[in-house]
Amino acid sequence: MTKVRRRRAPRLDEREFHRWLRRHLPAGRSGLLPLGDDAAALPWAGRKVLLLSSDALIEGTHFLPATPPRALGEAAANVNLSDIAAKGGTPRALLVDLLLPPTTSIGWGIAVVEGIESAAARWGAHVVGGDTKPSRTPAVVVTVVGVADREHLAPRSGARPRDLLVVTGPVGRGGASALPLRRGRLTEEELRSLVDVHPRVREGPILARYAHAMIDTSDGIADAAHLLAEASGMRLTIDAAAIPITPRLHGRLRGARQELDVAFYGGDYELLAALPPKRLAIARRRLARLGCPLTVVGVVAAGRGAHLQIGGRTSALPRAGWRPFG
């Protein structure tokens, strides 16, 4: 009897799944922002729109069991606040879902929520509701509602030829924080560093006024460049020599190439934007008042794909960055 072999279904790929969603869900064709952008946008009042973003942090994938719960809560809020900032929005309210094993102490849950509230209150937003459910693996899910100007949403699809690519801060902070994972056991300070997220909440609404397109670098600047290039149908070229590598990586790795690989790891939560050259000076001045640098790292041109220039040679930008499904 002939044995029939069953074909394995392809593994889930986040980016491919997002492409399917854009093709098949009505919001992917008619929304104010492309489905899969940093946040969703809904009409509200006049020029104002409501922004919605939701993200989850899961033990074993995004944080370790020994992570201080308050620091975890702050991170769960901040990763969502970063998405709101990437669309030029201001946060207004948060919903929190805690998925926890029944053996979890109430003190742990309280500390997580206190961390979320503390991070949100810094920007005038507050936790207004949510849910709790039993789960084998601890997870913290946060949804943020924000407000933005409809005329300044800076969608990922907005990059244009001759735009400059700019980034708001150092590249590689997330990769530097992850280096101790190679060693194994981490100190409490290193555990906090892994979930230390600083969203550009004040900078986002300012930069969105001048940018054609914008994205946060939660999964790394290389991944962000690929997403901008694909959404905009443009060719993006990043100059390796112009990337502001965090000083935390200097001298810790063997050679510039390894340093670049770690810099592309993800977890930076800066903003990468496509900016018309004539708006660079004013954007820099406005952000400088907040103590935020704005570094030109590349250019946009007609064409396709994301590319990396190293020493005068240009090649495809590596498909580097955080991948939740491997």
Mind listing the pLDDT tens digit for each residue in 240-262? 999 999 988 876 666 667 778 88
Based on the domain organization, do 235 and 103 belong to the same domain? no
What b/e sequence results for 286-315 when a residue is b if at least 16 CB atoms lie within 10 Å of its CB, and e otherwise? bbeeeebebbebbbbeeeeebbbbeeeeee
Instruction: Give the count of domains, the chain.
Output: 2
Query: Residue 29 — very low, low, confident or very high, per pLDDT cuts 50/70/90?
Result: low
Query: Residue 13 — very low, low, confident or very high, per pLDDT cuts 50/70/90?
Result: confident
Domain boundary among 91, 122, 150: 150
The predicted structure's pLDDT at residue 49:
96
Based on the domain organization, do 214 and 276 belong to the same domain? yes
In this predicted structure, the answer to whether residue 216 has a pLDDT above a threshold of 70 is: yes
Q: Across-strand partners of 42?
A: 50
Based on the domain organization, do 300 and 185 belong to the same domain? yes
Based on the domain organization, do 66 and 194 belong to the same domain? no
Q: Estimate to the nearest angstrom the gap between the alpha carbon of 41 and the chain centroid.
A: 17
In this predicted structure, the answer to whether residue 24 has a pLDDT above a threshold of 80 is: no
Tokens 């072999």 sit on residue: 5
Q: Model's pTM, two decimal places?
A: 0.91
Domain boundary among 150, 172, 203: 150
The predicted structure's pLDDT at residue 255:
60
Distance (Å, rounded) from C-alpha 57 to C-alpha 77?
10
Q: Across-strand partners of 141?
A: 56, 97
- CB atoms < 10 A from the CB of 5, how many? 6
| Higher-pLDDT residue of 8, 207 | 207
Distance (Å, rounded) from C-alpha 151 to C-alpha 275?
15
Residue 41: domain span = 37-150
Query: Residue 17 — very low, low, confident or very high, per pLDDT cuts 50/70/90?
Result: confident
Domain boundary among 126, 150, 174: 150
In this predicted structure, the answer to whether residue 72 has a pLDDT above a threshold of 90 is: yes
- Residue whose C-alpha is closest to residue 314's, from 290, 291, 298: 298
Mean pLDDT of 70-84: 98
Based on the domain organization, do 146 and 164 belong to the same domain? no
Mind listing the pLDDT tens digit for each residue in 283-322? 999 999 999 999 999 999 999 999 999 988 999 998 877 7
Please state, for a pLDDT cut of 70, what percent of the chain lies above it: 92
Based on the domain organization, do 185 and 237 belong to the same domain? yes
| Higher-pLDDT residue of 174, 271 | 271
Based on the domain organization, do 215 and 198 belong to the same domain? yes
| HSE of 160, CA atoms in CB hemisphere, 13 A | 8
CATH number of the domain that 61 lies in?
3.30.1330.10
Concatenated DSSP letters of 200-255: -TTHHHHHHTT-SEEEE-TT-HHHHHHHHHHHHTEEEEEEGGGS-B-GGGTTTSSH
| Higher-pLDDT residue of 318, 87 | 87
Q: Across-strand partners of 58?
A: 139
Based on the domain organization, do 85 and 223 belong to the same domain? no
Mean pLDDT of 46-50: 93
Based on the domain organization, do 145 and 166 belong to the same domain? no
Could you tell me the CA-to-CA distances from 35 to 10, 126, 228, 271, 292 in Å, in that order? Answer: 23, 26, 13, 19, 29
Q: Per the domain annotation, does 30 fall within a domain?
A: no
